[in-house]
Amino acid sequence: MVAIITGDIIASRKLENQEIWLTPLKKLLSSWGQRPQNWEVMRGDLFQVEITKPEEALLKAFQIKALLKKIKPIENRKTISTIDVRMAIGIGEKSYTGKTIQESNGTAFIYSGEKFDNLKKENVTLGIKTPWEDVNEELNLYLKLVGIFMDNWSVSSAELVALILNNPNLTQEEAGMKIGIKQSGVSRRWNRAHIDELLEVEKMFRKKIISKAV
């Protein structure tokens, strides 16, 4: 089984400089696999990436979210205050491996595409579809709840989230040294970003997917 993340940048047309999000996103995806076999950015703001270990898919989605929301997008008095992303995770089989991710196929691709098409209607920015209906119902509820605070991350909150997701063993004091603020400031950002709750959901997701996929 594999996971496929399909996503797009919300309100990307309001961003005059597309490279401010495109370059860091490509760099992140390149650290996970080869282009175009494992990932690709298509039609300007649509992207797709294959995660070979499906239990890691939510962590990867959180990393993409934090990466983009920590970018400061305001240019020439643009009204958009933070960059945001809409993503659907599909977990299933990969029945055909093409030369590019767009040519590959299987239920993981189908589930990701179907869920992605429904995100706007469901008024959420992150969702999942798997072969297991009980898992879909439970995990989508959790993702809807964490989306309430993730969608409202400030640039500074997202900066801390990205740091912690990439360095899970950092103490708050060490995190503060890396981003240049005191431990007390890290603590306030930590609570505003609901990092503890985010990590709990990621841990639970990982446990459920591993138990189902074996």
pLDDT in tens, 168-195: 999 999 999 999 999 999 999 999 999 9
Q: What's at 200, amino acid-wise?
A: E
Structure token digits, residue 127? 């969702």
pTM of the predicted structure, to 2 decimals: 0.95
Tokens found for residue 24: 């860091």
The tally of CA atoms less than 13 A away on the side-chain side of residue 205 is: 30
Mean pLDDT of the chain: 93
DSSP-derived 3-state class of residue 68:
helix
End-to-end CA distance of the chain: 10
Q: Which residues contact 105 (CB under 8 A, 6 or more apart)?
A: 94, 95, 96, 98
User: pLDDT value at position 74?
Assistant: 60
